[in-house]
Amino acid sequence: MKGLRIPLVLLLLGGAALAARRYDPYFWAFWVLVLLVLFQPEVRRGLGHVSRLLHGVLGSSRQEAGHVIDDLVEAVHSLAAKRVGALVVLERSAGLGHYAELGVPLDALVSSDLLESLFHPYSPLHDGAVVVQGARVVAAGCFLPLSRNPELGRKLGTRHRAALGLSEETDAVVLVVSEETGRISLAVAGQMESPLDRGILRGRLTDLWAGGAASAGGSLLDGLLRRWRIHRKSERHEGA
């Protein structure tokens, strides 16, 4: 049957080219159905591959976002326990390239150890903000705009004013650790939420940012291509 398919398809396509000279609104729909019937097993296998790729990409993105949130929560609580100030910016839909360019460019996976080292008092980058895009730290030592809200009290330090300032101008989520009190705060949409324990912070980051982390890690096409390459490599290894 397989040997007859190619000649049959060529014959059908040749006939279609001749018949296409006449305008028939149902002509091409008919031949598409014919081809789908002829190649039904191949179409089914192809759709199965696409389904598995989509499931792998979406599942791995959600899992990756969960790991990033765990590292963020661990890092800020560790810094808070040591009374080490920190300012972490999480990009969502609004790009933060302008602010990242004001700092030192990095390209490293988010980890609690990396974040703690960046905000260590002896680090040359500890006074600025860290910018996170998806699962990667893209810049450190960044300067952010201070909030111009006249209603803010004088008790708020520079880090908190910077967190509020950026959240007023963009849709970013900003984490702040106070070096005076060790209090952890979250700024979003010009509002400050504080204090935050581990459970509440993890929940808020999941609600506000987990989807953005997944998408920022790459487009769906990028993810499909990555999964396809991995699949092809595994097939070659099995064949060998």
- CA 202, CA 151: separation in Å to the nearest integer? 29
Residue 200 belongs to a domain: yes
Higher pLDDT, 38 or 141: 141
Residue 20 lies in a domain: no
**Is the per-residue pLDDT at 13 higher than 70?**
no
What pLDDT was estimated at residue 130?
A: 95
Q: Is the peptide bond prior to 121 cis by the omega test (within 30 degrees of 0)? A: no
Contacts by 113-117, CB closer than 8 A, 24 or more apart: 115/71, 115/72, 115/75, 115/76, 115/79, 115/86, 115/88, 116/75, 116/78, 116/79, 116/84
- The pLDDT tens digits for 106-144 are 988 999 999 999 999 888 888 899 999 888 899 999 999
**What is the number of domains present in the chain?**
1
Mean pLDDT, to the nearest integer, of 22-40? 61
In whole angstroms, give the CA distance from residue 24 to residue 46.
Answer: 30
pLDDT interval class at 221 (50, 70, 90): very low
Residue 59 or residue 92, greater confidence: 92
How high is the mean pLDDT of the chain? 75
Does residue 30 lie in a domain region?
A: no
Q: Is residue 34 included in any domain, yes or no? A: no
pLDDT for residue 37: 66
User: By residue range, what is the domain housing residue 179?
Assistant: 59-217
- Of 1 and 8, the structure prediction assigns the larger pLDDT to 8
What is the arithmetic mean of pLDDT over 190-199? 87
Please indicate, yes or no, if residue 4 is contained in any of the structural domains: no
What local confidence, expressed as pLDDT, does residue 226 receive? Answer: 43
Q: Environment class of residue 216 by beta-carbon count within 10 Å: exposed (0-12), middle (13-18) or buried (19+)?
A: buried
Q: Give the residue, 64 or 202, on which the prediction is more confident.
A: 202
Residue 225 included in any domain: no
| pLDDT at residue 60 tops 50 | no
Q: What is the CATH number of the domain that holds 67?
A: 3.40.1700.10
What mean pLDDT comes out for the span 91-96?
87
Does residue 16 form part of some domain? no
Say whether pLDDT at 23 is over 60: no
| 14 pLDDT tier (thresholds 50, 70, 90) | low
User: Among 15-19, 189-193, 232-236, which stretch is predicted with the lowest mean pLDDT?
Assistant: 232-236
Average pLDDT over residues 90-115: 90
In whole angstroms, what is the distance from residue 76 CA to residue 87 CA? 9
pLDDT band at 163 (very low <50, low <70, confident <90, very high): very high
pLDDT by residue (tens digit) across 204-215? Answer: 999 888 755 544
